[in-house]
Amino acid sequence: MSKTLKATQVDKCNGCELCSLEAQRQLKKVGLEESLIRIFRKKGKDPQTLVNSVEIDPRLNMLNIDKICEICPTSVLEIVDEVENQAK
Amino acid sequence: MIDLSAKKVLVIDLAKKESDVNSFVDLNKYLGGVGLGLKLLEIYADKEPVVFAIGPLNGFFPFASKTAVVLNDEGSIEDLYIGGSLSLRMRFAGIDAIVICKKAEEKTVVEILNTKTTFHGEAMDLRSLGLPGKRSVIGHENNKTLLDNYFTTPENHLEKAFVQKNLKGLVITGTEVYSPENFEEYQRLYKTILARTSDLRVERGVYPSCSNCPMGCGKSRVGEIGGNVLIDSLVACQFADKIYTDIGIVFSCLNVLGYNHTHEDVENLPKLIEDTIRKLSL
The Cα–Cα gap between A11 and A13 comes to 6
Strands B97-101 and B108-113: unpaired
Q: Do B88 and A35 touch (CB under 8 A)?
A: no
pLDDT band for B1, please (50, 70, 90 cuts). Answer: confident
ipTM of the complex, rounded to two decimals: 0.95
Nearest residue, CB atoms, B148 vs list A25, A28, A50: A50
Query: What mean pLDDT do residues B86-114 have?
Result: 98
Nearest CB partner across the interface for A38, out of B133, B190, B215: B133
Question: Residue B135 pLDDT more than 90?
Answer: yes
Q: What percent of chain A has pLDDT over 70?
A: 94
Structure confidence at residue A87 (pLDDT): 58
Torsion, Cα of B14, B15, B20, B23 (10° steps):
-80
Reported confidence tier of residue B65, pLDDT bands at 50, 70, 90: very high
Q: Considering its fold, how many domains does chain B have in total?
A: 1
The mean-pLDDT minimum among A72-86, B38-52, B176-190, B218-232 falls in A72-86
The end-to-end CA distance of chain A, in Å, is 16
Q: Give yes or no for residue A88 having a pLDDT over 60.
A: no
Q: Are B141 and B152 in contact (CB under 8 A)?
A: no
Task: Provide φ and ψ at B11, rounded to 5°.
Answer: -105, 120
Residue A86 reports pLDDT greater than 80: no
Contacts B150 to A, Cβ<8 Å: 48-50
Residue of chain B nearest A42, judged by CA positions: B148
CA distance B226 to B80: 6
**Chain A touched by B191 (CB under 8 Å):** no
CATH class of A3-87: alpha beta
pLDDT at B19: 98
CB atoms within 10 A of CB B191: 14
Percentage of residues in chain B having pLDDT higher than 70 = 100
| pLDDT greater than 70 at residue B58 | yes
pLDDT at position A1 over 80:
no
- Candidates A67, A51, A52, A53; CA nearest to A5 is A67
CATH number of the domain that B101 lies in?
3.60.9.10
Please tell me the least confidently modeled range out of A81-85, B197-201, B206-210, B240-244. Answer: A81-85
Tell me what pLDDT residue A42 has. 87
Predicted local confidence at residue A2, as pLDDT? 86
- Per-residue model confidence (pLDDT) at position B168: 97
Angle at B204 between CA B201 and CA B210, to 5 degrees: 85
Q: Which residues of B touch A41 (CB under 8 A)?
A: 85, 148-149
pLDDT tier at B6, thresholds 50, 70, 90: very high
Q: Where are the beta strands (DSSP E) in A33-73?
A: 37-43, 50-56
Q: What is the pLDDT of residues B18-29, one digit of tens each?
A: 999 999 999 999
Q: What residues of chain B, 220 to 279, have a C-beta less than 8 Å from chain A?
A: none
Summarize the confidence of residues B134-148 as an average pLDDT. Answer: 94
Per residue in A38-66, pLDDT (tens digit) is 999 988 888 777 899 999 999 999 999 99
> Residue ranges per domain, chain A?
3-87
Cross-strand pairs, B118: B111
| Residue B116, pLDDT above cutoff 90 | yes
| Closest CA in chain B for residue A55 | B133
In this predicted structure, what is the pLDDT of residue A46? 81
H or E element in which residue B229 lies: helix B229-234
Q: For residue range A4-36, list pLDDT tens digits in order.
A: 999 999 999 999 999 999 999 999 999 999 999
Lowest mean pLDDT among A19-23, B136-140, B225-229, B232-236: B225-229
Q: Domain range for residue B233?
A: 1-282
Task: Estimate to the nearest angstrom the gap between the alpha carbon of B92 and the chain centroid.
Answer: 12
| Average pLDDT over chain B, rounded to an integer | 96
In this prediction, residue A82 carries a pLDDT of: 81
